[in-house]
Amino acid sequence: MGRLSRSAVEILLRRAGLTVSQAEIEELQQAWFLLEPILELVRAEGRDPVVEPAQIFRADAWNASTDDDGGRP
Amino acid sequence: MLTPTIADAARLIAARKLSPVELVEHCVARISALDGDLHCFIAITEDRARQEAKAAESRMMAGTLRGRLDGVPIAHKDIFATRGIATTAHSRLLDRWFPAEDAHVVTLLADAGTVMLGKLTTHEFALGGPSFDLPWPPARNPWDIERFTSGSSSGSAAAIAAGLVLGATGSDTGGSIREPAALCGVAGLKPTFGLCSRTGVLPLAFSLDHPGVLAWTVEDCAILLQAVAGHDPRDPASRCRLAPDFSARLGRHAKGVRIGVVPRWHETECTVSEAVRRAYENALSIWRAQGAQIVELDMPALRDYQAVTIAIMLCEAFAIHEPWMRERFADYGEIFRDRVALGALISGADYLQALRRRSELCVLTLEAASGVDVIATPGAVNEAPPIGSVTKWGFLTSSSFAKPFNVTGWPAISVRSGFGDHNLPVAVQIAAKPFQEPLLLQVAHAFERAADMDVARPSVPTGPSVQPQQAGLLRPGRDAPSTNA
């Protein structure tokens, strides 16, 4: 992913509904440069497309806390 | 009177040799004398505490004590809801919020007979700190009030170190119990994810938040954990398991325990100070002498855990705060609002990739640690830095040994392991596999006892009252249970 331009940062913040000063937009863009390599680490090239996330929806265990087995037959 | 440990107070109260009323007056006097410098408390509930102490004393006299925590003064991090008592999260946004009910953990501790002395300083919503643009100043480190406490359970760790309370609640999303515990020289326990209820604890990041406890010793953490662990049907992450006896293994050596170490983490990936390194190696020597086996592990890189934690935390925090961020952006402190605004820039796909990476790291961690019982690392990287040196964006570039166990949800504890530069405390961290808290506490306690960690508390605010003979290795003047005024 390419680096976010200042205008891109401004658009994303506006899309999020935030009213941010020009100085803070500048600063957030600089901080993005620190964050971007961090995000590269979670993208993991070559990951098997079927790898599940850590939080998995289970239809029979919506209230998982009542039964650690997720519901017995 | 010296501020006792919870274990000592419990023994004395049970023997009717310590009055809960006198104990709470001791704590109130210390708060009155010291908190003007330390800023541990956002609210002090001394009238309520006196009433609760009288009730505990009545039970003591009647022989109906509720257990080891009956009559013990504690306080709560101010993200734990307390019925009828302002719960601010150290934020202007909640300066008039009076919850209708207690957090589940608060209820359990009250039921155990604890005496609540008040609400403790944190970082704004457990992330934004140290901030100087909020209605309350940040907590100061009792070992040197110009030094950082770390956070976000900053008031909790500082209040225990200074002997203002005997125990406290905390929460840990990326090290927020263990790192302040390390810099303030107290014990801080992050239990397994799902062991302690999050109900009524203001969230920072749903999937990483761990409520936990802090105290002066490992044994005290075990006593507190016994009260707060257990199933809560209102918390969907709460696990339905019977809580074991967390003190059952205390007093045993580490003989036969296989302790994993990851030298790469602290030697090359995240280089620790000389005092931290020496104290860590001393801890390994102590365990080895007890008969533990030290095993080198090939774990994933710290930066991988760091990346997952940051991506998930920022996205979940922004989702939680989005409505307020839109309406009241300027009411937040600068550090919190700018850090969390970064979450608005992260794509949904990247959040999901972080969750997928998290599942991979959980598998890799378990595989790497398959041949050991616990993992030992240094606690914090360095001694406490000057409070003015902490930057807004440092959390993006600095590594820590805490985050692997937020990502995996494994239990972990920080234990005082010595003193380093400027007589500031350093710590060792021990982690165990999920729900292995009794073993974790055994190993931590075995070290704490053998290393003679029962040290004097700091004399506030003029500096530590103990003089280690050798930086990094503990040998201050011992005066159990503590020598604070």
Establish if B484 belongs to a structural domain: no
CA distance A22 to chain B (A): 13
Contact B345, A34 (CB under 8 A): no
Q: Do A65 and B238 touch (CB under 8 A)?
A: yes
Establish if B2 belongs to a structural domain: no
* Ranges of each domain in chain A: 6-45+53-62
| Position with higher pLDDT, A48 vs B25 | B25
When scoring A1, A42, A72 by the number of chain B Cβ atoms within 10 A, the one with the most, hence best to mutate, is: A42
CA distance B237 to chain A (A): 6
**What is the DSSP track for B268-311?**
IISPPPHHHHHHHHHHHHHHHHTT-EEEE--PPPHHHHHHHHHH
Q: Do A12 and B344 touch (CB under 8 A)?
A: yes
CA B167 to chain CA centroid, Å, is 10
CA distance B93 to chain A (A): 16
Task: Establish how many alpha carbons lie within 13 A of residue B60's alpha carbon, considering only the half-sphere containing its beta carbon.
Answer: 26
Tens digit of each residue's pLDDT (9 = 90 or more) over A7-42: 999 999 999 999 999 999 999 999 999 999 999 999
- Nearest residue in chain B measured CA to CA from A13: B344
Which residue type is seen at B69?
L
Q: Do A41 and B307 touch (CB under 8 A)?
A: yes
Q: Do A38 and B307 touch (CB under 8 A)?
A: yes
- Number of A/B CB contacts below 8 angstroms equals 117
Supply the range of the domain harboring residue B274: 10-456
Task: Write the ipTM.
Answer: 0.89
**Residues of A whose CB is below 8 A from B236:** 63-65
How many domains would you assign to chain B?
A: 1
The stretches in chain B having pLDDT less than 70 are 461-485
* DSSP state, residue B402: S
Establish if B481 belongs to a structural domain: no
Establish if B300 belongs to a structural domain: yes
pLDDT bracket for residue A45 (50, 70, 90): confident
**Residues of B whose CB is below 8 A from A3:** none
Query: Token digits for B78?
Result: 């101010």
- B329: Cβ contacts below 8 Å, ≥ 6 apart: A18, A19, A20, B337
Helix B6-14 and helix B218-228, axial crossing angle in degrees, nearest 10: 70
Q: Do A65 and B345 touch (CB under 8 A)?
A: no
- Nearest residue in chain A measured CA to CA from B194: A65
Catalytically active residues of B are 77, 152, 176
Tens digit of each residue's pLDDT (9 = 90 or more) over B41-55: 999 999 999 999 999
Q: Is the peptide bond before B152 cis (omega within 30 degrees of 0)?
A: yes
pLDDT of residue B478: 29
- A26: Cβ contacts below 8 Å, ≥ 6 apart: A6
**Residues of A whose CB is below 8 A from B314:** 35
Tens digit of each residue's pLDDT (9 = 90 or more) over A9-18: 999 999 999 9
**Residues of B whose CB is below 8 A from A24:** 338, 341
CATH code, domain carrying B270: 3.90.1300.10
**Helix or strand holding residue B117 (H, E):** strand B115-120
Establish if B299 belongs to a structural domain: yes
Contact B131, B151 (CB under 8 A): no
pLDDT of residue B1: 85
Nearest partner of B107 among B2, B187, B199, B215, judged by Cα: B199
The proportion of chain B whose per-residue pLDDT surpasses 70, expressed as a percent, equals 95
pLDDT of residue B452: 86
Distance CA B59, CA B66 (A): 8
